[in-house]
Amino acid sequence: MRDTEWPATVLNIASCYATMSPVKVRIGFGLGARTSVNGADFLALVDDLERLQFDSLWMSERIASHAPDPVVAMSMAAARTSRLKVGMSVMVLPGRNPVVLAKELATLDVMSGGRLLPAFGLGAADAREHNSFAVTRETRAAIFNEALQVMRACWTQESVTFHGQHFSFDDVSVLPKPIQNPPDVWLAGIADSELRRVGRLADGWLPSFITPPEAAVGWHKINDEAARNDRTIDPEHFGVLIPYSLDAIPEQVISTVASRRSSEVDPNDIIPVGWQRLVELIHKFIAIGASKFVVIPMGAHADVDWTAHLEEAASILKPLEN
């Protein structure tokens, strides 16, 4: 579906959100799984994000890439800043010990003064990545569901006893408890099964490679599923991760889109080229109720002047916040 083709159901959903109280638009910056920024360059980028008052820094995860590990990178960024939030876009949960990870992330939340934005996913649709986490494609969803339940219990309960198909613990205690009580957990995904999982388990939704009409329908399905489970999700917790390019869309990215989406989706509808197209796309998402955005540059980055790039980005994107 082209994003210019807004069916009646989507327009009805958009009009409902338009009548709601304004939400707080916030712009974060992400480093994708193919972006290699390490060492002094990473620290300088963090300094620029703090100075330019971006809302947050989001780290992607891919074992077989030069992208830094998200926990290590978030810790470095949090230690160097006082206001910048740190999140994962997204961290793979199946294959990790949820008790140990709960301890790591609670510690980061405490040491950062409550600036952690945890976001989890099942992992890339790549057998090599699944093997790296010692899980199979068939079992990862069930493992994910149990792991998230265990982590939340570790953050909120003094003692945790859990017996599931994949994890079994008796009288486990995790300290310190996070400052956030507990941290809001964001999930990604746009398939119907993933939307239902967001409605059942998540505090927020951060999809990627999606058009505004699709996001409007997805958010509606998520809230319906939440209601069926006697839950509500904060309207402020509807976000979108938007990959963008200032030149042509890289062929490798087009291949990624083709592998994730049907042939009916035009890459130009989900990966804006140029600042103007990025701003226009963000406005379309705001119109259907989204308010939290993570923008991720696509393409080659070896020779990027990150300070100049972020200064230009801030001058164009920060005025969108309210």
242: domain CATH number? 3.20.20.30
1: in domain:
no
Per-residue pLDDT at 21: 52
168: in domain:
yes
Of residues 250 and 63, more confidently modeled: 63
Give the lowest-confidence range in 20-24, 29-33, 106-110: 20-24
Give the lowest-confidence range in 55-69, 141-155, 262-276: 262-276
Per-residue pLDDT at 9: 53
Amino acid letter, 126: D
**What is the number of domains present in the chain?**
1
Q: For residue 319, how far is the Cα from the chain centroid? A: 22
Give the lowest-confidence range in 132-136, 186-190, 204-208: 132-136
In whole angstroms, give the CA distance from residue 295 to residue 9: 27
223: in domain:
yes
Per-residue pLDDT at 130: 79
At residue 148, does pLDDT exceed 90?
Answer: yes
DSSP codes of every residue in 264-277: TS-HHHHS-BSHHH
Q: Return all residues near 318 (Cβ < 8 A) that are at least 6 apart.
A: 27, 52, 53, 54
Per-residue pLDDT at 46: 98
The pLDDT mean for the chain works out to 91
Per-residue pLDDT at 19: 47
Q: What is the pTM of this model?
A: 0.91
pLDDT band at 16 (very low <50, low <70, confident <90, very high): low
270: in domain:
yes
2: in domain:
no
265: in domain:
yes
Q: pLDDT digits over 89-128, tens only?
A: 999 999 999 999 999 999 999 999 999 999 999 987 777 8
Q: pLDDT digits over 274-304, tens only?
A: 999 999 999 999 999 999 999 999 876 668 8
Of residues 4 and 226, more confidently modeled: 226
Q: Return all residues near 266 (Cβ < 8 A) that are at least 6 apart.
A: 2
The residue range of the domain holding 97 is 8-320
Calculated CA dihedral for residues 302, 307, 60, 241, nearest 10 degrees: -120
73: in domain:
yes
What integer is the mean pLDDT of 258-287? 89
pLDDT band at 18 (very low <50, low <70, confident <90, very high): very low
3: in domain:
no
What integer is the mean pLDDT of 24-47? 93
In whole angstroms, give the CA distance from residue 278 to residue 305: 20
Assign residue 199 a region (left: φ > 0; alpha: ψ between -120 and 50; beta: otherwise): alpha
pLDDT band at 12 (very low <50, low <70, confident <90, very high): low
What integer is the mean pLDDT of 44-73? 95
